[in-house]
């Protein structure tokens, strides 16, 4: 018995002298898997809103649009009513007969037809743009917004070529579609992804339906046209550019297919629209010059100086 006790004591001492990494680990009720903490920290990164650096782009664009509208009201001496001035001769408005002035493809976003048009765009872009900007940063949101504005005028110049454009609806719809891109990229990393998707689709469908109704049903004679083409192409730009530039918190290999698809679609649309405008502008200039020559010949033949 004494020898057996001595052997047991020696065995216990040998176990105590073993290195810690060689000792058998006995799990307890408070053991936590090594990857659990990372999962908790990273799970909702897409829903983290940060104010540093501050989200300045959407606020700045909204202030510029409001300031330009008020300036137009004051300088044209128009009464401040919901049906505000439409500055057709403004250097900012997109005009199909001035498409060679390429800044108009972007600058039209600072003009608005009336108070309702301005208020709707400002409210929506603040509500949907600020949360995106607080997560993804001002530079990414600026790229999406301006790409939507540019796509709105490009698409209108191809499909609805006689329409003048004012307003930031292309940029607003780009922000709406960027929310969809954010959901596609980070659905597994955000709360209430399905609810966000449903609310975006419902809102966009209602507003787009109203744009079609205003254009084809309720629009009075001589009223400014509502270009729903700018809404569609702005949304397309927002979706594709959003997939390209927004932060991807869910690094899965399948997401690269979305990235390349978005790049191909946006590049194809943009190249086609730019080439179309170049050819159309050059053709119009040639026809105008030929028409002037024919006119001069006719006047000469008629003896009119």
Of these residues, 90, 107, 153, 169, which one is catalytic?
A: 169
Residue 157's domain spans which residues? 51-294
Active site residue 169: yes
Is 205 within a domain?
Answer: yes
- Structural domain total, the chain: 1
Residue 281 has pLDDT above 80, yes or no: no
Q: What is the pLDDT of residues 210-241, one digit of tens each?
A: 666 666 665 544 444 556 788 899 999 999 99
- Residue 290: HSE in the Cβ half-sphere, 13 Å Cα cutoff: 6
Q: What is the pLDDT of residue 287?
A: 59
- According to the model, what pLDDT value does residue 223 have? 47
- 45-54, 110-119, 275-284, range with greatest mean pLDDT: 110-119
Over residues 147-194, the pLDDT tens digits come to 999 999 999 988 888 888 888 999 999 999 998 888 888 877 666 667
Task: Taking residues 254-279, report their average pLDDT.
Answer: 86
The catalytically annotated residue of 112, 136, 179, 231 is 231
Residue 67 lies in a domain: yes
- Annotate 258-297 with DSSP letters as a single string: HHHHHHHHHHHHHHHHHHHHHHHHHHHHHHHHHHHHHHHH
Confidence (pTM): 0.73
9 within domain boundaries: no
For 246, the token pair is 């927004």
In a domain, 39, yes or no: no
* CATH (domain of 147): 1.20.1540.10
CA distance 292 to 305: 14
In SS3 terms, 189-252 reads as HCCCHHHHHHHHHHHHHHHHHHHHHHHHCCCCCCCCCCCHHHHHHHHHHHHHHHHHHCCCCCCC
Residue 227 bears catalytic tag: no
Closest CA to 113 of 77, 166, 63, 64: 166
């Amino acid at each position: 018995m004494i020898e057996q006790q001595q052997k047991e004591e020696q065995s216990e001492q040998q176990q105590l002298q073993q290195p810690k990494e060689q000792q058998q680990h006995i799990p307890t009720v408070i053991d936590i898997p090594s990857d659990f903490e990372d999962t908790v920290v990273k799970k909702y990164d897409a829903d983290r809103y940060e104010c540093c650096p501050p989200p300045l782009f959407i606020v700045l664009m909204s202030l510029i649009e409001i300031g330009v509208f008020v300036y137009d009201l004051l300088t044209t001496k128009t009464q401040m009513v919901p049906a505000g001035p439409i500055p057709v001769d403004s250097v900012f408005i997109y005009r199909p007969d001035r498409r060679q002035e390429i800044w108009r493809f972007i600058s039209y976003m600072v003009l608005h037809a009336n108070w309702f048009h301005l208020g709707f765009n400002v409210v929506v872009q603040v509500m949907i743009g600020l949360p995106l900007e607080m997560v993804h940063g001002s530079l990414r949101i600026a790229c999406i917004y301006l790409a939507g504005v540019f796509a709105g005028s490009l698409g209108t110049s191809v499909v609805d070529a006689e329409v003048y454009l004012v307003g930031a609806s292309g940029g607003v719809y780009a922000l709406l579609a960027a929310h969809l891109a954010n959901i596609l990229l980070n659905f597994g990393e955000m709360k209430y992804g399905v609810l966000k998707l449903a609310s975006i689709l419902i809102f966009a469908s209602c507003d787009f339906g109203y744009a079609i109704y205003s254009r084809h049903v309720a629009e009075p004679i001589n009223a400014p046209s509502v270009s729903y083409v700018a809404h569609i192409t702005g949304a397309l730009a927002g979706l594709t550019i959003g997939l390209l530039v927004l932060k991807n918190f869910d690094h899965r290999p399948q997401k690269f297919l979305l990235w390349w698809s978005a790049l191909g679609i946006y590049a194809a649309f943009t190249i086609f629209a730019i080439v179309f405008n170049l050819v159309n502008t050059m053709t119009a200039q040639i026809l105008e010059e030929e028409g002037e020559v024919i006119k001069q010949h006719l006047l000469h033949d008629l003896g009119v100086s």
